[in-house]
Amino acid sequence: MTVAIVVIVVVLLAAVLLFANARRRDRDAAIGSLSRETRDRDRGEASIEQVLGDTDAEKVATGREVERAAALERRRVVVPATVSAPKPPAVPVDDETYGVSRRQFLNRGIVTMMSVSLGGFGLSMLAFLWPSLSGGFGTKIRAGKVDDILNQIADKREPFYVAEGRFYINPYPKDSVPKAKQVGAYSALLPGYEAGVVALYQKCVHLGCRVPWCKTSQWFECPCHGSQYNRVGEKKGGPAPRGLDRFIVSIDNGTVVVDTSPSGLIVGPPIGTNTTGQEAEGPHCIGRAE
Ligand code: FES
């Protein structure tokens, strides 16, 4: 969050500095500074006349005087005339003025493009770092009605998978709840267990592969290194250091709400935990339990 605020402040400051710099250059240019070539040409003409001995050469205006006179002339044209003042004569736009307009156009174009780019970058950073408030992994997810979920699991003989939350829901036998309390299950998990469900994080606790469901054994079996977990995520075999991690579940008007935020994630039960006594119900998909 702090990083996002710093990035936005830096982007805004850069845009303001660029805009102010361009405005200053535009203003200076609008006064009508003569280009270096023009000033050199003026100096060159004066020196030739001096070489030829022309007595009027000293009366030739310098480049700076011409520049100042042009600026004053323009200002007279731009300032609105008072009622009593005579209307100033129209001044034709010379090549130099056209050049200034081109510079103004380029300056403003560059500033606009840079401002848009920096603004887009800042907004994308903000969107990336801003916490998701509209649902999805990291928030509380309403998975569906308890009864509907349990019926679907029974019909398909596979867990209820919620992809946006990266978790599986499986039945938790209510007669196993006292045993879960005995083995020290986190009290935050008990409301879900008592409602008959457990929400298991799909990530293998060994090295992080997504653990698929094996329909024949009715266990979770990891294809990466062969870790196996029973229906409620208790470790049964392989190199996993514990059971599957799980999320806190609450029931809101019969709807299962799963908290996938970091504070809602509970580490899996230690090796040896077996509250349900469920053994493999058929052939394994990956290796064999040790
Ligand atoms: S990542 Fe699952 S067993 Fe290694």
The per-residue pLDDT for range 174-186, each reduced to its tens digit, is 999 999 998 877 8
Name the most confidently modeled range: 22-26, 38-42, 79-83, 252-256: 252-256
- Whether pLDDT at 79 is above 90: no
Please give the pLDDT value at position 120: 86
- The model's confidence at residue 81, banded by pLDDT at 50, 70 and 90, is low
Give me the percent of the chain exceeding a pLDDT of 90: 49
- Four-point Cα dihedral 239, 243, 246, 249, nearest 10: 160
Of 35-39, 58-62, 85-89, 245-249, which has the strongest mean pLDDT? 245-249
Residue bearing tokens 């267990």: 193
Nearest-CA residue for ligand 1 atom 4 is 225
- Name which residue leads in pLDDT, 102 or 255: 255
Contacts of 26 by beta carbon, 8 Å cutoff, 6+ apart: 103, 104, 107, 108
Binding site membership of 203 for ligand 1 (Cβ less than 6 Å): no
Tell me the range of 6-15, 90-99, 270-279 where mean pLDDT is highest.
Answer: 270-279
Query: 284 Cβ partners below 8 Å, 6+ apart?
Result: 214, 216, 217, 219, 221, 228
Residues forming a β-bridge with 229: 220, 235
Tell me the mean pLDDT in the region 93-109. 71
pLDDT at 51: 46
Question: 173 CA distance to ligand 1 centroid (A)?
Answer: 26
CB distance 185 to ligand 1 below 6 Å:
no
Looking at domain 140-266, its CATH architecture is: 3-layer Sandwich (2.102)
Burial class (CB in 10 A: 0-12, 13-18, 19+), 225: middle
Positions of CATH 2.102.10.10 in the chain: 140-266
E strand spans, the chain: 140-145, 160-162, 167-171, 197-201, 213-214, 219-221, 228-229, 235-237, 246-252, 255-259, 265-266
Atom of ligand 1 minimally distant from the CA of 227: 3
Contact 112, 18 (CB under 8 A): no
Mutational test site, ligand 1, from 203, 227, 288, max ligand atoms within 8 Å of CB: 227
| Mean pLDDT computed over 4-21 | 73
**Between 1 and 74, where is the model more confident?**
74
pLDDT at 55 exceeding the cut of 50:
no
Q: What single DSSP character describes residue 233?
A: -
Range of lowest pLDDT (20-34, 85-99, 134-148): 20-34
The predicted-structure confidence for 135-156, as pLDDT tens digits, reads as follows: 789 999 999 999 999 999 999 9
Q: Taking every pair of C-alpha atoms in the chain, what is the biggest distance, in angstroms?
A: 120
Helices 63-78 and 36-52: crossing angle in degrees, nearest 10, is 130
Task: Please say if the pLDDT value at position 165 is more than 90.
Answer: yes
The confidence score (pLDDT) of residue 12 equals 76
Cβ–ligand 1 distance for 225 under 6 Å, the answer yes
pLDDT at 125: 77
Instruction: Indicate if ligand 1 lies below 6 Å from the C-beta of 204.
Output: yes
